[in-house]
Structure 1
Amino acid sequence: MNFQIFFLGSSYSLQPWEYLIPVLLGGTCGTFIGIVFLEIKKKNCLLTQSQSHLLNLIDNAFILTQSIDTAGIILNVNKTWEITLGYTKSEVMGKSIFEFIAEEDRTNYNAAMENALTGETARVQFTFLDKASEKVFVDGYTNCWFENGKPVSTHAVLKNSNTNHQREKMLKLSATVFEYTNDGIFVTDNNGHIIMANEAISNLTGYSKNDLLGITPINLISREENVKHILEDIYDAIQYRKPWQGEIISSAKNNNNFHAFLKLMPVKDDAGNSNHLIGVLNNITGKKEADKR
């Protein structure tokens, strides 16, 4: 059973034991003290709810959070940390954080922790090893909690950067393949002009990279030795960034033309627009001569 009282235009609901406060103290003074008591209780309740909401938000955020003591022992991790690395909280609590960091990144991580222990907010970039021993690259910040002027624990907020890290690795790999493959490769802009060319196409045609940049791929084709409709199809593919492939006679800088296989492939963006064209040129003179024999 609740009691309803009114004080200074506001209504308050009291439990029976709470109602005794104003009754025992009596009068307006007792009522006032009782209301102050209730207001404190209400604010504490709201604060508890707010803290609970914040903890729940942190625990289910898309970021990884971790608390580590000054000796590197794991004190707490959130749900995203568990899901990302495949461990449960009970499996990692009380263990050294270094057990879960790739060996090559432990020194860097330790240096960041030392900076955090001085009071700095330190940037951290390192690689976790998940439960399946797969690498998970993370990027974030860590700072330190102090009590009585002494460092107690570090707290980190981390973002899983595997997608960006993998993309960077793939870009480097693609650049290596582009530069060292035996196939001549070029890339055109949306006007059909070559904006990138690898070493192989320079070796095939005798044109330097500087010679190739800014010209159209049609300049690499012998106008005299190719059938007219092939030239028209290639020109159309370059102008409108459409796929095409076939055998051609390629024009070399030293007039030592050669049989080649040309493949043109449009590159589409996220909106489906073709803004670039990739061309791959292979010298097939040896194959053609072998076929004649």
Structure 2
Amino acid sequence: MKSEATSMEQLWEENKVLKARISELEKYKAFFEKAPMSYQSLNEDGVFVDINPTWLKTLGYKKEEVVGKKFSEFLHPDWKTHFYENFPAFKKRGYVHDVIFKLRHKKGHFIHISFEGCIAYNPDGSFKQTYCVFQDITKRIETEEKSNKSIAREKVLADILRNSPLAFALGYPDGSIELFNKAFEDLTGYSEEELRGISWNVVLTPQKWRNKEEEILSELCLAKKQVRYEKEYIHKSGRIIPVELYVKAKFNESGDLVHLFAFVTDITDRRKNTDELELHRKNLETIVEERTKKLQEKNKELDKALKVFVGREMLIKELQNKVKTLEDKL
């Protein structure tokens, strides 16, 4: 009787353990079926053993279209070599973290996925199967690609500005200068370190231009448009350099001025040419005035000579008339 009671107790305990395991399996199955992340399991040859509904929903397949097929059949052609090289390493290492692949959706397009997973082993330590979950990171990859392209474009633009023969500078309303290129250093005569420590609206700008420039930049802030104007810079040597600036401004959401960026052209040669043209114009005006004065004097002399000539003609005519009158009397 005692032996039978012991057997009954053992059966009862085993039944409880079995029920507990069944309960855990049901919980696992429910989690597996309703898990928000895509799950897959591969055998040692990389063939699908199991997948969950989220996996099917993410890639658009039916279960019978996947289980029994090789994982590589669903890979983008460019990613198959990556899988062939890394799957053996995964089996040896026993886990993977944030491993990215590109899988084909049933509709034909491809999505980027990031894997997390581990290896399950048999009691004897041999390979059993993989347990992996993945996230669709297509949007993340697209965002990163756009960001990388944007960074690349900005780098190209930065290189263009840095190496441009046209002087460029970014300054702030307080007069400080942050960004500028080598051409701006050459134009002003200051080194990079020196430019970061000076004020563009005081050290570089002559006193006579400061009020006028403030008015121009105030108009820029009101109109929110770029402006082009001429002024002068004070070179480090003290030499005055005539320049033309094309200035644009950056404003914050409140409409306040954040910074100014300007392309600066040395117009010394243009100003010199303009001055020379002005000098030539004045010389021509002087020559024209002198020639006009001489012509006027000549005209006066001609008028005088003409009057004398006309007077003589009239006198001759009068004498001729008198001679004729005398002849008629005779």
TM (norm. structure 1) is 0.60
* Sequence identity percentage: 15
| Residue number in structure 2 paired with 1:291 | none
Aligned residue among 20, 38, 50 for 1:64:
38
> 1:265 Cα deviation (Å)?
4.7
Alignment of 1:179-190 (within 5 A): 179-181=155-157
Counterpart Cα distance in 2 of 1:174 and 1:166? 12
TM (norm. structure 2) is 0.54
> 1:193 Cα deviation (Å)?
7.3
From the CA coordinates, give the structure whose radius of gyration is larger.
2
Counterpart Cα distance in 2 of 1:60 and 1:212? 65
127-136 or 36-45, larger mean C-alpha shift:
36-45
> 1:32 Cα deviation (Å)?
6.7
Q: Does 1:125 align with 2:105?
A: no
Counterpart Cα distance in 2 of 1:188 and 1:179? 20
> Are the structure 2 counterparts of residues 132 and 42 from structure 1 closer, same or farther at C-alpha, using a change threshold of 3 Å?
same
Q: Does 1:202 align with 2:181?
A: yes
Q: Does 1:52 align with 2:38?
A: no
| Residue number in structure 2 paired with 1:165 | 141
> 1:71 Cα deviation (Å)?
2.0
Counterpart Cα distance in 1 of 2:128 and 2:153? 49
Counterpart of 2:181 in structure 1: which amino acid? S
Counterpart of 1:84 in structure 2: which amino acid? T
Counterpart of 1:160 in structure 2: which amino acid? D
> Are the structure 2 counterparts of residues 253 and 143 from structure 1 closer, same or farther at C-alpha, using a change threshold of 3 Å?
farther
Q: Does 1:264 align with 2:258?
A: no
Gaps of 5+ in 1: 1-24, 238-242, 285-293
> 1:114 Cα deviation (Å)?
0.1
Aligned residue among 132, 142, 147 for 1:156:
132
| Residue number in structure 2 paired with 1:246 | 226
| Residue number in structure 1 paired with 2:47 | 73
> Are the structure 2 counterparts of residues 257 and 160 from structure 1 closer, same or farther at C-alpha, using a change threshold of 3 Å?
farther
Counterpart Cα distance in 1 of 2:194 and 2:147? 23
Aligned residue among 128, 146, 152 for 2:121:
146
> Are the structure 2 counterparts of residues 187 and 202 from structure 1 closer, same or farther at C-alpha, using a change threshold of 3 Å?
closer
Residue 61 of structure 2 aligns to a residue whose secondary structure is coil
Counterpart Cα distance in 2 of 1:217 and 1:129? 59
Q: Does 1:175 align with 2:151?
A: yes
> 1:203 Cα deviation (Å)?
7.5
> 1:192 Cα deviation (Å)?
10
| Residue number in structure 2 paired with 1:10 | none
> 1:142 Cα deviation (Å)?
3.4
Counterpart of 2:77 in structure 1: which amino acid? E
Contact 2:230 2:242 in 1 (8 A): no
Gaps of 5+ in 2: 162-167, 236-240, 266-330
Counterpart Cα distance in 1 of 2:50 and 2:234? 67
Contact 1:146 1:152 in 2 (8 A): yes
| Residue number in structure 2 paired with 1:89 | 63
Counterpart of 1:122 in structure 2: which amino acid? V
175-184 or 249-258, larger mean C-alpha shift:
249-258
| Residue number in structure 1 paired with 2:73 | 99
Residue 58 of structure 1 aligns to a residue whose secondary structure is helix
72-81 or 132-141, larger mean C-alpha shift:
132-141
> 1:152 Cα deviation (Å)?
3.4
Counterpart of 1:231 in structure 2: which amino acid? L
> 1:115 Cα deviation (Å)?
1.4
